[in-house]
Amino acid sequence: MVSTQLNSKQIIAARVAKEMKDGDVVNLGIGLPTMVPSFLPPNVNVILQSENGYIGLGPLDGEVDPDLVNAGGQPASILPGGAFFDSLFSFELIRGGHVDVTVLGGLEVDAEGNLANWMVPGKMIPGMGGAMDLVTGAKKVIVAMEHTAKNGSSKILEECRLPLTGKGVVDLIVTELAVFRVTDEGLVLEELQDGIDLKTVEEKTEASFKISQAILEN
Amino acid sequence: MVSTQLNSKQIIAARVAKEMKDGDVVNLGIGLPTMVPSFLPPNVNVILQSENGYIGLGPLDGEVDPDLVNAGGQPASILPGGAFFDSLFSFELIRGGHVDVTVLGGLEVDAEGNLANWMVPGKMIPGMGGAMDLVTGAKKVIVAMEHTAKNGSSKILEECRLPLTGKGVVDLIVTELAVFRVTDEGLVLEELQDGIDLKTVEEKTEASFKISQAILEN
Amino acid sequence: MDKIISKEEVSSIFKDGMTIMAGGFMGVGTPQGLVSAMLEAEVKDITLIVNDTAFIESGVGPLISNGRVKKVIASHIGTNPETGRQMIAGELDVELVPQGTLAERVRAGGSGLGGVLTPTGVGTVVEEGKEKITVDGREFLLEKPLRAEVALLKAYKADKAGNLIYHRSARNFNPLMALAADLVIVQVEQVVEIGEIDPDEVMTPGILVDKIFVQGGCC
Amino acid sequence: MDKIISKEEVSSIFKDGMTIMAGGFMGVGTPQGLVSAMLEAEVKDITLIVNDTAFIESGVGPLISNGRVKKVIASHIGTNPETGRQMIAGELDVELVPQGTLAERVRAGGSGLGGVLTPTGVGTVVEEGKEKITVDGREFLLEKPLRAEVALLKAYKADKAGNLIYHRSARNFNPLMALAADLVIVQVEQVVEIGEIDPDEVMTPGILVDKIFVQGGCC
C-alpha cells in the first residue's frame, strides 16, 4: 500500500477498522462508517448486516437491481452466503444482540455513554430510523465522528444537550484526535491518534476523562 | 348418500360441519373434531390449519413423509395452495384472529362460556399444547362433545369445576342432544338434534339456559 | 374466491379517514400501482403507517405531496422534504417510531399481543407518555399494537390462492403488515396457478391475502 | 471458520446443569443425532426447553427416560408417560406453557424483548404468579423471555456458512430457537457450498449457527 496522507474521516475509519475481528457481524451507519471496510486488513472479513433486511451486504457490482438497496437506499449487492429476511427479523437480530458491532456517527457523546445523533430541535427532523434499536441492541457501539463541531466546539461533553438516541449505550468513541473508552467510571482516553498530543485533546474535549496507563507511560 | 344411522359422535360432527362457510380457515382438535370435514357439503371447502406449522392440512395420501405430520403427530399431507411456517408464525395466526373457527372437545363448559378440557387434578396431566391459544385467538370457538360424562353427569355446568382452558371463550356448544349458543345473557338452546325432546335436554343439562324463539315456536 | 382485482376496484376500496399500512423501505418494496390507485381515489385525511415517507414523487411520497395524509406513523421522513414542511406547517401529524419498534408494533397488532416490551427508546424522548414496565430489574417501554383497515403490499410472485414470495430487500415490512389489517391487497409482478409454489417457499400464506393486483394487467 | 463438527465434539459441549433448547414437535424436527450425542455425554440435571417430550424412545424422550433432566419447560408431555411418572414421583420439575406462549417466550429471549404480553392463559392456572398488565382495558399476562446455553436444531440443508433450510412440518420451533441460545448446533441432512442456497430461500441466516453436525457423516 502506498503511504498517503489520510484526511480526518479516513483516520477515523482506519482506527475503527482495528476494532473488528474476523467474522464479526457489523452494522454500519450512513456516511463515515461506510468507509470502515476499506481499511480492514486482508485477514479480517466482517459480515455486514443491512437493517432493511439482509446479511451479506456488498458494494454494487455492476448490475443495478431495484429490489436490492442498502440502508441508505442506494443500489447494493449481496455476497455469497448472504440471506434476506423481513424488517421484523432484521431488528430481532439487532435488538437481540446478534450484531457484534455497530458504527454510527454522533452529534454529541457524553461521559456516561449517552449518544445524541438523531435530531436537533428547531431543525428538520429526519427520524431515528433504526439507530435507536442499533445502539440499544448491538454488542458493541462505536461512535465514529470528528472531535469538534464546525464551530470548533467539543462534541464530547460532560452531558449531552441534544435529545438522546440512546442512554448509556456507547462503548468506544473514535475521533481524528483520539480514542476514548466509556467505562463505569466515565471516559478513559485510550489512545492519541498519530501526531496528536495530550494537550490538544484536553483543549478540544469538554468532558473530563481519565488517561489510560498506556498513554501516561508513553 | 345412503341414509344410515349416525352414532353420537357422527351426529355432533355433522352438526358442527353446518357452521363452516366456504373458505373458512379451521383448526380442528384431536379426536371427534377431525371427523367434521367428512360431513361438509361439496360446495363448502375449508382450509385446515395445523398448529405444528402449516395451512392446507390434508389426509395422508399414500406416501408417508416423516417430516409431515398433523398436530396429533400422525402422518398427513399438504394440499395444493398450502404453506409451511414455523411454530411462532403458526401461533401468530392463531392468536391474531386469522383462524376463523376452532373445534375442540370439552370436559366441561359453563354458562359464561368457560371451557375446561386440558386437565383433571389427580390424573396424569398431558399439558395444554396449543389449546389455550386456540380458544383465546380463534374468531369462533365451537366445543364439540357428548352431552354427558360416562357416569351420566352433565358436562354443561353452571360453573366449571375443573381448571379452565379459557375464560369466556366458547361461542357454540354442539352435543348429540342439542346446540347451545353462549351469549352475554348466558346459554341459549338453539336447536334440538333430530328426535330429541326439550325435556331430555333439560334433564341432562346442569346449567340453566334460555330457549330460542325457534324452538318455542315449534 | 377469485382474489384478482383491477386498479379501478382497488381505487373503490379507499375512504376518507382510513388507516392504511404500506410496505416499503425508501420506496423499495412499495406497491407503486396501489399507491397510484389510492391517489386516483381522491381520498383525504388518511393515517399512514409506513417505515418512511420515501420521496416526493415515489414510494408513498405522492400521498403526502398531494395532501391526502393527516397523520404519518414512521421511523424516517428525512428523504421526503414535503413531509417535514407539512409537519412544521402544522398540516401533518407525524409520529416517529424507532424502526424495530415499528416492526414489533405492527407484529403485535397482527398477532393478538397486548403490546411490546422493548428496551429501545428508554431514556429518550420516545418514552414520553408511555408506560414503563420493569422486568427483573430492567426497564422496558410498553409500546402499543398497530393495525390498519387496509394493508398495501408488494410481492414478487403470488399464486391464485394469494401465497406470496418476496424478492430480495423488497421484502422489508410487507410480510408483517399482511397480518395487521382488516383487508390485505398485494401488488405482484406475476401470478401463477395454485400448486406452482412449493409450500416450503411461501413467505406469506394466501389466507392472509384478500386481493391481488397484477402489475401491468393479469393473465 | 469451519463450523462442521463431529459427534464426539458435540458430546464434549454438554455439562451438568445446562439449559438446553431443542426443536421438534413430537419428535418431528428433533435432531436425533444431537440428542444421542448428548446422551453419550452422560450429563445430568439438565433443564430442557422443548415443545413436548415426545416419546420414551424417540425425540427428546430418551433424555427424560435416562434421567438426565431436572426440569422441563414444555407445552405437552402427554405422549411420554415417563415424563408424567417422574413428575408425579417428584423426580422431575415440569413447567407447562401454552404452545403459542412458549414460542413467544423463546422469541423474546432471542430478540431482546423484556417479555410477552399475551391474552392466552388469562383466567386460568397459567396466570398464577405472573404479573397482569392492562392495556386499553384488556388484561394480558406478562410472560418472561426464555434463553438457553445450547440450542439443538434440525434442518434439512445447510451451506457451510450455516444458512439453513427446513423441510415441511419439521420446521416448527427450530428457527426461533436459533436466536435464543449462546451456542447453536444444527443437525442437517446435507451440507452444500457457500453460494448454493439462494439468499431469498434461507430460513435461518448462518450468523446464528455456530456448529453444523451432518447426519451420517460429512463431505
| SS (HEC) of D43-59 | CCCEEEECCECCECCEC
Task: Quote the crossing angle between the two packed helices D99-111 and B87-95, to the nearest 10°.
Answer: 120
- Taking the C-alpha atoms of residue A58 and residue A74, their distance in angstroms, rounded to an integer, is 11
Residue B53 lies in a domain: no
**Distance in Å, alpha carbon of C112 to nearest chain B alpha carbon:** 4
| Chain A residue numbers touching D206 (CB-CB < 8 A) | 55, 81, 83
The pLDDT of C69-96, averaged and rounded, is 97
Tens-place pLDDT, residues D172-217: 999 999 999 999 999 999 999 999 999 999 999 999 999 999 987 7
Task: Quote the pLDDT of residue B124.
Answer: 87
**Distance in Å, alpha carbon of C69 to nearest chain D alpha carbon:** 26
By the CB < 8 Å criterion, does C195 face chain B?
Answer: yes
Residue A187 lies in a domain: yes
Q: Does residue A2 have a pLDDT over 60?
A: no
Residue for cell digits 345473557? B185
- Cα dihedral angle (B140, B144, B148, B150), rounded to 10 degrees? -140
Chains that touch C (3 or more CB pairs under 8 A): A, B, D
Tens-place pLDDT, residues D69-80: 999 999 999 999
* Residue span of the structural domain in which C68 resides: 7-113+146-214
Q: Does residue A3 have a pLDDT over 80?
A: no
| Chain D residue numbers touching B85 (CB-CB < 8 A) | 171
Our answer on whether D and B touch (3+ beta-carbon pairs < 8 Å) is yes
Residue D120 lies in a domain: no
Structurally, how many domains does chain B consist of?
A: 1
CATH number at residue D152: 3.40.1080.10
Residue B94 lies in a domain: yes
Using DSSP's 3-state secondary structure scheme, residue D156 falls into: strand
- Mutate: best of A84, A89, A95, A128, partner C, most C CBs <10 A: A128
Q: Does residue B62 have a pLDDT over 90?
A: no
Q: What angle do CA B116, B121, B124 make, to 5 degrees?
A: 100
By C-alpha distance, which of A130, A30, A36 is closest to A74? A30
Chain-centre distance of CA B77, in angstroms? Answer: 22
ipTM: 0.97
Contact criterion met (CB < 8 Å) for D110 and A92? yes
Our answer on whether A and B touch (3+ beta-carbon pairs < 8 Å) is no
Task: Quote the pLDDT of residue C57.
Answer: 96
The answer to whether B181 touches B126, Cβ cutoff 8 Å, is: no
Structurally, how many domains does chain D consist of?
A: 1
Residue A66 lies in a domain: no
Residue C25 lies in a domain: yes
Tens-place pLDDT, residues A98-113: 999 999 999 999 999 9
The pLDDT of B104-114, averaged and rounded, is 97
Contact criterion met (CB < 8 Å) for C28 and A73? yes
Contact criterion met (CB < 8 Å) for B93 and C199? no
Q: Does residue C1 have a pLDDT over 70?
A: no
Tens-place pLDDT, residues D136-182: 999 999 999 999 999 999 999 999 999 999 999 999 999 999 999 99
Using DSSP's 3-state secondary structure scheme, residue C92 falls into: coil
* Count of CB atoms situated within 10 Å of the CB of B140: 16
The pLDDT of B43-70, averaged and rounded, is 96
Task: Quote the pLDDT of residue A1.
Answer: 46
The catalytic site residues of B sit at: 51
Task: Give the C-alpha distances (Å, rounded to integers) separating D169 from B68, C77, D24, D155, D185.
Answer: 5, 41, 9, 11, 20
Task: Quote the pLDDT of residue A212.
Answer: 96
**Secondary structure (DSSP) of C110-166:** HHT-S-EEE-TTTTSGGGTT--EEEETTEEEEEE----EEEEEEEEEEEETT--EE-
Contact criterion met (CB < 8 Å) for B56 and C199? yes
Task: Quote the pLDDT of residue B1.
Answer: 46
Q: Say if residue C209 is exposed, middle or buried (CB neighbours under 10 Å; 0-12, 13-18, 19+).
A: buried
* Residue span of the structural domain in which B100 resides: 8-29+87-217
Residue A78 lies in a domain: no
Q: How confident is the model at residue A5 (pLDDT cuts 50, 70, 90)?
A: confident
**Distance in Å, alpha carbon of D208 to nearest chain A alpha carbon:** 7
| Chain C residue numbers touching D144 (CB-CB < 8 A) | 135-136
Residue C126 lies in a domain: no
CATH number at residue B127: 3.40.1080.10
- Taking the C-alpha atoms of residue A185 and residue A112, their distance in angstroms, rounded to an integer, is 8
Residue for cell digits 417510531? C97
Closest residue, chain C, to B91 (C-alpha): C111
